[in-house]
A and B are shown apart, each in its own frame.
Chain A
Amino acid sequence: MEIKEFISNFAEQFDDLDASILSPETEFKALDDWNSLVALSVIAMIDEEYDVTLKGNDITGSNTIQDLYNTVCERM
């Protein structure tokens, strides 16, 4: 898995977000459109695409997209 693909999948969970503004260093919870409903969609996407089940603490304990990506990679 490449982080580029992960970021693209991540961006798709928002209604209207340009993936090009995201980078591995993006602090995703600071994004204007981030909310608890988007969090659920991200959990669903990671479950479907990577067969990894994240819990609430995995999301709240991650700051950047890279953090989230690393957690997913560790569990694959």
Chain B
Amino acid sequence: MAFLELKNVRIAGMSACVPKSIEYTKDNPYISADYDFEDFIEKTGIHSRRKDESLVTSDMWCAAAEKLICDLGWDKKEIDVIISCTQGPDYIAPCTACISQDRLGLSKECYAAEIPLGCSGWVYGLSYIGSLLSTGCMKKGLLLVGDARTVLPTSDPIVGFAGTATAIEFQEGAEGFKFHFGTDGSGYEAIIIPDGGARNRISAKSLQMEDINGRQLCRLQSRMNGMDVFSFAITTAPKSMKKLAEHFKLNLESIDYCVLHQANMQIDEIIRNKMKFPKEKVPMCLPDFGNTSSASIPLTIVSQLRGKVENKYTKFLCCGFGIGLSWGSLAFDSEGMVLSDLVEI
């Protein structure tokens, strides 16, 4: 059973960066051949997203990290670890974690590695960095998570750009993090970029447009089997959170905020109802920012809970789920967590 408990670590703060540029769903002519933008908004809840095709992932999370380091008053020399997570790395190689160490001006005495996960990535990333810091040898770390532009521009009406930074530190006696994880690789084709990896190398065919569920996409662009992802999400996410609660004897009624991956409104509403949380306990940033992949949980906390949680003891339950198929649930308590103002570039 993939449960994990990490003690002696805490989230010191979070920040998020989004492009200034807003794309409204109603202005997107490429929604689908099958339905119009009003139907799309009704079902997905996505009114607008932030997008700027000039920005790559490290532009966004480095801006978020600079703001957070400043707000925390951290000395850059003290940062021992960067874990990053993206499916839109600046380069195929080397990994964006190494590039970010240099861009942020961190010490060369820095552990840096990257996880190529999507919507579950923030939860997984926290388990990596928490594991590294919980022994106390390394004391401070940054988890950099998000996605910006991809190999080719996309007219995808769901995806928004965001880069986030989460600051984690060793603290003797801290309650730490409790996790449940799961994976079902048999669903690897449910969300996939078919070409461009070693399995299907880039060829002339990779650029040919195909009709995928009413949208024109080539094999270098992400495509989704919406029905399979939907079934997976509405069943797996609630089960994972309930398993976590049962295993660690968490009282779900005492949870202050349940922060879900911002998949689409219909999915998140079904999960919320299955978990029996009232709406005010499940903040959503989806209407304004769309589905921001691995950044969605920290972006929701930064954009929706700033001013509400910093000065009081707060119990969080989070769940990320998606491409892989991969999912992870997390429980943590915060006190004195710094949430930076949303950074817009």
Contact = CB atoms under 8 A, between A and B. Distances in A.
Interface of A: 15, 35-37, 39-41, 43-44, 47-48, 53-56, 59
Given A36-B213, A56-B227, A44 B234 contact: yes
B75 interface: no
Contacts, number: 54
A9 B43 CA distance: 18
A40 B21 CA distance: 30
Q: Is the interface of B mostly helix, strand, loop or mixed?
A: helix
Contacts of B234: 43-44, 47, 53
A56 B266 CA distance: 17
25 contacts: A35-B32, A35-B34, A35-B39, A35-B214, A36-B32, A36-B227, A37-B35, A37-B40, A39-B226, A39-B227, A40-B226, A40-B227, A40-B266, A41-B266, A43-B227, A43-B230, A44-B266, A44-B270, A47-B231, A47-B270, A53-B231, A54-B227, A55-B228, A56-B226, A56-B227
B184 to A, nearest CB: 12
Contacts of A44: 230, 234, 266, 270
Interface size class of B (residues with CB under 8 A): 10 to 19
Contact of A35 (B35, B225, B230, B235): B35
Contact of B43 (A41, A43, A47): A41
A36 B226 contact: yes
B138 to A, nearest CB: 42
A41 B266 CA distance: 8
Contacts of A36: 32, 34-35, 213-214, 226-227
Top-4 shortest CB links A-B: A56-B227, A35-B34, A56-B228, A37-B43
A40 B43 contact: yes
Contacts of A35: 32, 34-35, 39, 214
